[in-house]
Amino acid sequence: MTEGRAFAVVGAGIIGCAVARELLSRLPGAAVTVYEKEPRVGAHQSSHNSGVVHAGLYYPPGGLKARLCRRGVGLLEELCREHDVPYLTCGKVLVARDEPEVDRLRAIHARATANGVPGVRLVGPQELREIEPHVVGAGALHSPRTAITDFAAVTRALADDVLARGGTLQLGEEIRTILSTASGAEVRTDTAAARYDAVVVCAGLQSDRLARRSGAPREPAIVPFFGQYYRVDPSHEHLTRGLVYPVPDPRHPFLGVHLTRRVDGGMTVGPNAFLSPGRERYAGWMPDLPDLRDVVTAPGFWRLAARNVPTAAAEALTVLRPARFLAEARAYVPALADATLTYDTRGVRAQALGQDGALVDDFVIQRSGPVTHIRNAPSPGATSSLAIAEHIVDDVLDR
């Protein structure tokens, strides 16, 4: 019996809409309400990203990221076909510039193989040229099934499914706190309160604040990092067939500059990664003072900053000088030498930070009675969204 059962989802980003859809799929007749403080779905991370559908190359086998990414890819591709959302399997190469990077590629290849990434293989310089004629390197890891999509369109499709299955979207309504009760949980706005059997909080950039206000642990804290993308001029868009990525450097917390195809046929360079002036600041540099205060008072922030001064200085140069961005991209595609870049979208990543100053790597899902908080779901969160929804709903129903 599901009739009479009521659930709330806080946040109408891609994961929140996926959770609501999964609840309605498992429990026909249940009442599912999605609360969103913005006037539209997918207003933040779900619509400010690279559009890459990750195959699962990097993630430690057995972790949530590895398991849910691989499951999520298949579910996402199926959803895109059903809703006529663009989904292009363009492939990806991780390009090594020297022998030490080739050695790191071998370790990534072993991890990707353990994760079941289809078709992944190591290639030499000549075969790299056959895959990407304008790319140079000492070797590469080729992931032919890596794809691109439009995650904002995916989020809208999920929201349409929620409505079609009888769910409710409460747009423009911000949740202030969630209280556990003897029979479930109470969701409170500034003006009203409603009771539910269970609540799932998918608040992204605001997840730590809402968790603390609702009695959940203070940690992990969210530190916002912005990533600026630049659009390559149309005369140079043909220089890559798919995605061109650097080999991750374990000394640095983020990946570095890469070249990304878009579903509209364009190509972007980016993103960089630098402390954002605000959690929801997608243009300009005026700091949001409450957001800045939360960052500098986070117990782990200064430990993170002290360990990454050289990285921060290098990223600052790419922020101040787009030409530096292009110079890094030319190391992989020399024919970009005379390309021009224009500002494209800026994303803000909700990155969880531990008290020890380490960036939290895996997905973090905290459960407190009838309330589930997603505390960390960075990349590949969008790719994994439908699988994350399955994982969370399994737990909600088990309880």
DSSP per position, 142-205:
EETT-EEE-HHHHHHHHHHHHHHTT-EEEET----EEEEETTEEEEE-SS-EEEESEEEE--GG
d(CA 220, CA 52): 26
Task: Answer whether residue 272 shows pLDDT above 90.
Answer: no
Q: Is the dihedral of CA 168, 171, 173, 179 positive or negative?
A: positive
Res. 271 pLDDT band, cuts 50 70 90: confident
pTM over 0.75: yes
Residue 180: closest CA among 31, 35, 371, 366: 371
Q: Is the dihedral of CA 224, 292, 373, 62 positive or negative?
A: positive
Res. 315 pLDDT band, cuts 50 70 90: low
Contact 155, 47 (CB under 8 A): yes
The pairing of beta strand 139-143 with beta strand 121-123: antiparallel
The pairing of beta strand 193-196 with beta strand 221-232: unpaired
Q: Is 389 exposed, middle or buried (0-12, 13-18, 19+ CB in 10 A)?
A: buried
What pLDDT is stored for residue 399 in this prediction?
77
Q: List Cβ neighbours of 295 (8 Å cut-off, separation of 6 or more).
A: 223, 224, 275, 301
User: Apex CA 223: angle with CA 217 and CA 229, to 5°?
Assistant: 145
Q: Which of 77-86, 147-156, 341-350 has the lowest mean pLDDT?
A: 341-350
DSSP 337: G
State the distance between the two ends of the chain, measured CA to CA, in whole angstroms. 16
Mean local confidence (pLDDT), 33-37: 98
Q: Which two tokens stand for residue 94?
A: 């991780």
Q: Is 180 exposed, middle or buried (0-12, 13-18, 19+ CB in 10 A)?
A: middle
Q: Which of 116-125, 127-136, 152-161, 302-311 has the lowest mean pLDDT?
A: 302-311
- Mean of per-residue pLDDT scores for the chain: 93
Contact 31, 7 (CB under 8 A): yes
What pLDDT is stored for residue 320 in this prediction?
62
Residue 112: closest CA among 52, 50, 72, 54: 54
d(CA 271, CA 294): 24
Percent of residues in the chain assigned helix, strand, coil, to nearest 5:
35, 25, 40
What pLDDT is stored for residue 392 in this prediction?
98
| 244 or 369, greater pLDDT | 244
Q: Give the type of residue at 74.
A: G
CATH code given to domain 6-47+152-220+361-398: 3.50.50.60
Residue 49: closest CA among 149, 193, 190, 158: 149
Res. 10 pLDDT band, cuts 50 70 90: very high
What pLDDT is stored for residue 203 in this prediction?
98
